[in-house]
Chains A and B, each alone.
Chain A
């Protein structure tokens, strides 16, 4: 039970973080490689405030404390955003990376604030709970996270409906025209970065309260990469895409990591495949198929999908076999023998390697043929959709 609660709490925190990231990537078209800065600084600020309030014997409201993390994120968004948002596209991506690295490496320079290698700790149970809620149990903490996540969801959704949200979309699609209408793309990007910093800070504040410790890890490029993964795998083209991504990636992280140490490798591979073959993410695929389903044409696609699934499974199995054998052979592990589903594999025998390679090669070859079939079916579906009366 407590395992499920902690998993759900993490999903809640990551949902807010991914939503705030998609305000940049999905809605404003800004690809940031340093979004963890706002999450981490919000975390540190929240925990420092908590510790300071407790030390001075002042009343603490844990319920409202994440808001302070959000304000810290907002403040740093206002500070850094001013330089970073002058330009969009590649330059913005590069500069956001630079800012992220700068903050991450300065975290080791100011141990008084960042706590050095060990980070800083706090205690969220201050004993001053209203109605007996002191956030001592994981369930109470989860409820707090869920409430904040719901609030942030409403706020970020509301933002997409405001003039600013619409203008952000316009800046993403055609900044030049926005400028001609009389708006400044710079100031629109600036506001979006600051607001995204606010929500990332809330997520950071909640994470500080949940784990009661913040280390430099919260500022790292690792976390920035994770949020890109979540937003992109879920799908940046829709509002709800990052929600799917945050939940899926968090669950998979736990599930796959418990089976194999090679999980980051698989994550990277899946990410690359999605970038290359399904840039709309999972939500994009859902949107595509929803239209087909509503027109009652899904029957035409399914057989082709099933045919393609077989070689796809062969490629998957072969790849997993190669990766797992490479790991088993590697310097960190002693035993070279392993089981993949029902298949006994031996990383020292050539037979296993040849079999795995053959599965991949044959699978890719057949997949090419099968994908042609799928493409043909899609064309016929598209034609039928175009003809169908709306």
Chain B
């Protein structure tokens, strides 16, 4: 019971963080048809900027300054890079963001070095929020949850109730019509791209100190973000939300469950005496490839994803 509850809480925290990344990616994808390979790089940039700014100004200024800065970087990338690559077609766009993700890692290493930087949880957010049975739940995880839920609620409200949201949604489905009505659609694209980048940056700000801030962090989370988008259904925000939580919770549980096929067989009264590597693999060991296995399974049984409208 204790394990289940704590794992559930941890999984939801991780899943919400994932969704902050996937949400922006999905929005950008459904609007511009661009799969941004450099999206996880904005997450990394957010973490590094937050580290640098909190070293200079303290955590709270960094918390509020870093995401907009990442957003500005995103806008610049869209305006001066992607728009140019767009002329050469989708493959050029994909390759551009791919090259950018590679360059981002090199740039971060150039400025901050190859080692892990010391980006820590601020003292004001250290400590225990509550203790469940015997496991303590840290304040910072609660803070992460609060920030992600708050940010997502804000975003949902923005999309649903404001004029800006209305225009974005309209540009999403009928860009030509919006252009004809006199809206500057390329500028809306830049705005959405910047917004998605800022969201990823915010995820980096609150995720960078909870996990580790290092040059490999973008490569570690990048492929998982794509898996979430495929599993959820390309272009579906709700699908991405469900898939983020699903993968977050599943992965957290699998890390905790140290069972192998032999153990499961024993549960049903069978004694397996196998020494093959496959049967001795425990769920914990399988955790890193679980998202990919899930993706392959989804592709076989439901190619349009959990909530995708089209295949």
Contacts and interface: CB of A to CB of B under 8 A. Distances in A.
B138 interface: no
A106 interface: yes
B106 A93 contact: no
Interface string B55-73: 0000000000000000000
A95 B295 contact: yes
B33 A90 contact: yes
A38 interface: no
A90 B293 CA distance: 20
Given A90-B35, A232-B95, A268 B103 contact: yes
B96 to A, nearest CB: 5
A323 B85 CA distance: 24
A221 interface: yes
B226 interface: yes
Interface residues of B, number: 48
A89, A97, A262, A264: most-surrounded residue (chain B CB, <10 A): A97
Interface string A256-277: 0000001011001101100110
B102 A271 contact: yes
Nearest to A263: B106
Contacts of B219: 221
Nearest to B102: A268
Interface residues of A, number: 45
A332 interface: yes
A99 interface: yes
A269 B106 CA distance: 10
A105 B277 contact: no
A98 B292 contact: yes
Interface in A138-161: none
B156 interface: no
B230 A272 contact: no
Interface in A60-114: 83, 86-87, 89-91, 93-95, 97-99, 101-102, 105-106, 109-113
B94 interface: yes
B115 interface: yes
Given A93-B94, A109-B285, A275-B96, A98 B113 contact: no
Contacts of B33: 90
Interface string B282-301: 00011011001101100110
B98 interface: yes
B94 A95 contact: no
B110 interface: yes
Contact of A276 (B96, B227, B288, B292): B96
A29 interface: yes
B103 A332 contact: no
B230 A94 contact: yes
Interface string A360-374: 000000000000000
B88 interface: yes
A326 B295 contact: no
A228 B95 contact: yes
B110 A262 contact: yes
A355 to B, nearest CB: 19
Contacts of A279: 88, 92
Contacts of B223: 97-98, 101
Nearest to B104: A268
B99 interface: yes
A326 B111 contact: yes
Interface string B102-130: 11001101111111000000000000000
Given A99-B292, A268-B103, A91 B234 contact: yes
A275 B92 contact: yes
B183 interface: no
B84 interface: yes
Interface string A207-234: 0000000000000010001001000100
A127 interface: no
Nearest to A272: B99
B76 interface: no
Interface in B25-70: 29, 33, 35
Interface string A325-346: 0110011100000000000000
Contact of B295 (A98, A113, A232): A98
Contacts of A99: 292, 296
15 contacts: A94-B35, A94-B230, A97-B223, A98-B223, A102-B293, A105-B288, A109-B285, A228-B95, A265-B103, A272-B96, A275-B99, A276-B81, A330-B109, A331-B112, A331-B115
Interface of A: 25, 29, 31, 33, 83, 86-87, 89-91, 93-95, 97-99, 101-102, 105-106, 109-113, 221, 225, 228, 232, 262, 264-265, 268-269, 271-272, 275-276, 279, 323, 326-327, 330-332
Given A90-B90, A327-B110, 18 more contacts: A25-B91, A31-B94, A83-B296, A83-B299, A90-B29, A90-B35, A98-B296, A99-B292, A102-B296, A105-B292, A109-B281, A109-B288, A221-B219, A264-B106, A268-B103, A272-B100, A275-B88, A276-B96
